[in-house]
């Protein structure tokens, strides 16, 4: 009888220890997930810091390179504000040519199919919205980080091979100052072409739109 009691006690102790071990294992799993989430958040923060740095450098280059620099912000505060705004918009892309469905769920389905072209999950989309009131109004998509937006802009040709999206146009989300500079640059290009400079074009180089000579074959 004493032996049976001892065995029962040992079994009870073993069960208790097993439950305790299971609890510790579950807590460890929770902590590991928290660490992974923290690492992911830290990585995204570093990407945002890089975006601000890149945007500031890009805007400074715009100011230095543009013959229309008087139209751009020149004070330190304005430069910083512009850099922050560019960084904020770096998570976004604008797509032109998608027929306006006037239905959020249908737009969501289109966005999902569009992202499938790039093997990007819909969960990376923070929000999306239509711009304007036309039958093919632009669709702005805001992602959770700038890397996704950058990937789509770089690999957009991949999507253009899809019949459904072959006529779409992709653009980054430019600030008003960037649009003003690009408009001025386009005006300059047209003016120079009218005077006989036909071998020039606008090209995006190291973060700055510039007028360059078209390379000869």
Phi then psi for residue 141, to 5 deg, are -115, 125
The tens digit of pLDDT for each residue in 39-95 reads 766 676 666 666 666 666 666 666 555 555 555 545 667 778 888 888 889 999 999
Roughly what angle, to the nearest 10 degrees, separates helices 146-154 and 2-65? 60
Q: What average pLDDT score do residues 112-140 get?
A: 87
**Alpha-carbon distance 4 to 101, whole Å?**
76
pLDDT on residue 116: 93
Q: Where are the domains positioned within the chain?
A: 93-172
Pick the CATH number of 93-172 from 1.10.3120, 2.160.20, 3.30.70, 3.20.20: 3.30.70
The tens digit of pLDDT for each residue in 14-27 reads 777 777 778 777 77
The tens digit of pLDDT for each residue in 153-175 reads 988 888 888 888 888 999 999 89
């Amino acid at each position: 009888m004493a032996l049976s009691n001892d065995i029962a006690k040992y079994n009870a102790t073993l069960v208790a220890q097993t439950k305790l071990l299971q609890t510790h294992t579950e807590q460890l799993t929770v902590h590991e997930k928290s660490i992974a989430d923290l690492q992911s958040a830290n990585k995204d923060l570093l990407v945002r810091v890089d975006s601000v740095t890149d945007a500031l450098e890009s805007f400074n280059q715009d100011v230095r390179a543009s013959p229309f620099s008087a139209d751009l912000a020149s004070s330190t505060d304005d430069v910083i504000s512009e850099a922050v705004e560019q960084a904020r918009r770096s998570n976004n892309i604008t797509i032109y040519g998608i027929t306006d469905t006037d239905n959020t769920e249908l737009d969501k389905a289109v966005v999902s199919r569009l992202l499938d072209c790039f093997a990007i999950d819909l969960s990376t989309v923070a929000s999306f919205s239509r711009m304007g009131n036309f039958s093919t109004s632009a669709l702005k998509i805001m992602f959770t980080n700038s890397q996704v937006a950058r990937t789509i802009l770089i690999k957009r040709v991949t999507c253009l091979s899809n019949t459904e999206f072959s006529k779409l146009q992709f653009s980054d989300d430019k600030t008003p100052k960037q649009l003003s500079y690009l408009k001025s640059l386009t005006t300059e290009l047209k003016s120079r072409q009218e005077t006989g400079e036909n071998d020039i074009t606008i090209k995006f180089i190291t973060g700055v739109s510039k007028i360059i000579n078209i390379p000869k074959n």
